[in-house]
């Protein structure tokens, strides 16, 4: 098959599984390879839920991609017969002047999105589950909620396979290259060639993006190990997603604390899943298997208890590690490889990429096959992250 493939996708997590599904749907001959057996617990896409929201505080340029991602999640859900997106609302903010609420309002204004700016007192009146200072500034977005990462990846891979994609699990690539017309990968199962290559290896991208000329990690990405903690809801209906929104509270110089309430279909331990955004230190991806640090679990529980009424004493039912891949500016790197016009890169999702997975998959498929995309991803061009502008 070596000279008949249109594209090879390396990494079948959030981005790669969706790129593979889009390519196969378009009738392309494609091969997808993964180091493990996706969906799995060794990368960035496990833990039952990922927050999705429209009024993006990080930058308004993400909003058109998000609108498309919402539709794409719903199409995939319909196609697979699975519930993939839950719209239980979302509240985010913090002390007066916090950048999160300000950024959400900016995106909402720019793209005419319906949100409500509330003070802490009004938030607690609407949702007595929270306890925050009365003068806090928060934003409520009814269309916020969460998506189900493992179910999404499973659905994308099933769609890809149904449309003819070849999928090789437990098959890490050891090397790749391209002469501009043909790209290749080396694996223990042999060498594969295609007209185009997509690199979407998550926290392993530092090792995957380099070329012989550039050495490793030209995009200067840093994997970090983050901790997720599950808290027993003790059957409290006020902690269920039917009554409670997803939440995130800014804590100034400390990592923001967030929580995603359980939903019956989540397939995860349930209760409330909480975390401290970006609190982990740099690691090699393999270190995800090291034991969760009790100190970070304690800090996470404490931060959660400060903001949820009646949370004191509720039991920790589970904890796990998950990998962020941080870029220098916290924005993604999606585009063509600066040295290879037939190699597309998806990297550096910096702890907020999952909600974009189906639309990034579409952009990657466009880039791999046509060398360009009409999707507005120019602001994510990988070249901006290079040290001297070159690989």
Ligand X SMILES: Cc1cc2nc3c(=O)[nH]c(=O)nc-3n(C[C@H](O)[C@H](O)[C@H](O)COP(=O)(O)OP(=O)(O)OC[C@H]3O[C@@H](n4cnc5c(N)ncnc54)[C@H](O)[C@@H]3O)c2cc1C
Tokens of 325: 């891949």
Residue 39: asked if its preceding bond is cis (omega within 30°), the reply is yes
Examine residue 275 and tell whether it contacts ligand X (CB under 6 A): yes
Member of 102, 119, 166, 172 binding ligand X (CB under 6 A): 172
| CB-nearer residue toward ligand X: 113 or 347 | 347
Please work out the total of residues on this chain that contact ligand X, with binding judged by CB under 6 A: 36
CA separation for the pair 272, 284 (Å, rounded): 28
CA separation for the pair 98, 51 (Å, rounded): 20
Examine residue 202 and tell whether it contacts ligand X (CB under 6 A): yes
- Min separation Cβ 33 and ligand X, Å: 5
Member of 36, 210, 309, 317 binding ligand X (CB under 6 A): 36
Member of 7, 45, 233, 369 binding ligand X (CB under 6 A): 45
Member of 7, 13, 239, 283 binding ligand X (CB under 6 A): 13
Examine residue 12 and tell whether it contacts ligand X (CB under 6 A): yes
Applying CB under 6 A, which part among 82-90, 117-125, 196-204, 215-223 lies near ligand X? 196-204
Examine residue 204 and tell whether it contacts ligand X (CB under 6 A): yes
Applying CB under 6 A, which part among 6-14, 76-84, 126-134, 363-371 lies near ligand X? 6-14
162: number of Cβ within 10 Å: 12
Applying CB under 6 A, which part among 79-87, 306-314, 316-324, 361-369 lies near ligand X? 316-324
Alpha helix (H) ranges present in the chain? 14-25, 63-80, 99-111, 120-126, 149-162, 205-209, 294-307, 357-370
CA separation for the pair 269, 272 (Å, rounded): 9
Whether 228 contacts 47, CB under 8 Å: yes
Examine residue 324 and tell whether it contacts ligand X (CB under 6 A): yes
Closest CA to 170 of 38, 335, 354, 273: 38
CA separation for the pair 301, 143 (Å, rounded): 27
- Min separation Cβ 162 and ligand X, Å: 20
CA separation for the pair 321, 46 (Å, rounded): 9
Which residues contact ligand X by CB under 6 A?
10-16, 33-36, 38, 43-45, 50-51, 172-173, 200-202, 204, 208, 226, 228, 275, 322-324, 349, 351-355
């Amino acid at each position: 098959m070596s000279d008949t493939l249109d594209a090879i996708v390396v990494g079948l997590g959030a981005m790669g599984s969706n790129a593979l599904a889009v390519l196969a749907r378009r009738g392309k001959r494609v091969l997808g390879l993964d180091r493990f057996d996706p969906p799995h617990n060794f990368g960035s896409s496990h833990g039952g839920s990922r927050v999705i929201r429209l009024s993006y505080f990080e930058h308004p340029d993400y909003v058109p991609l998000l609108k498309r991602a919402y539709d794409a999640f719903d199409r995939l859900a319909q196609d697979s017969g699975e519930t993939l997106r839950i719209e239980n609302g979302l509240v985010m903010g913090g002390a007066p002047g916090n950048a999160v609420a300000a950024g959400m309002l900016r995106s909402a204004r720019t793209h005419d999105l319906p949100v409500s700016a509330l003070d802490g007192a009004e938030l607690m009146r609407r949702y007595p589950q929270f306890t925050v200072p009365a003068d806090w500034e928060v934003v409520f977005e009814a269309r916020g909620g969460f998506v189900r990462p493992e179910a999404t990846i499973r659905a994308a891979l099933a769609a890809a396979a149904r449309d003819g994609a070849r999928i090789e699990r437990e098959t890490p690539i050891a090397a790749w290259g391209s002469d501009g017309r043909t790209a290749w990968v080396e694996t223990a199962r042999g060498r594969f060639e295609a007209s185009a290559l997509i690199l979407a290896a998550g926290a392993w991208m530092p090792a995957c993006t380099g070329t012989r000329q550039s050495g490793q990690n030209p995009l200067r990405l840093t994997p970090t190990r983050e901790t997720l903690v599950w808290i027993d809801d003790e059957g409290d209906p006020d902690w269920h997603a039917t009554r409670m929104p997803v939440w995130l509270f800014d804590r100034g110089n400390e990592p923001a604390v967030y929580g995603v309430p359980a939903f019956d279909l989540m397939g995860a331990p349930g209760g409330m899943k909480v975390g401290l955004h970006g609190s982990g230190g740099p690691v090699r991806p393999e270190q995800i298997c090291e034991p969760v640090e009790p100190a970070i679990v304690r800090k996470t529980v404490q931060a959660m208890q400060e903001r949820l009424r009646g949370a004191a004493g509720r039991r920790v039912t589970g904890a796990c590690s998950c990998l962020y891949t941080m870029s220098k500016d916290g924005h993604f790197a999606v585009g063509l490889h600066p040295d290879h016009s037939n190699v597309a890169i998806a990297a550096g999702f910096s702890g907020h990429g999952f909600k974009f997975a189906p639309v990034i998959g579409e952009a990657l498929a466009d880039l791999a096959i046509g060398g360009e995309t009409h999707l507005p991803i120019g602001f994510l061009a990988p070249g901006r992250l290079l040290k001297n502008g070159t690989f």
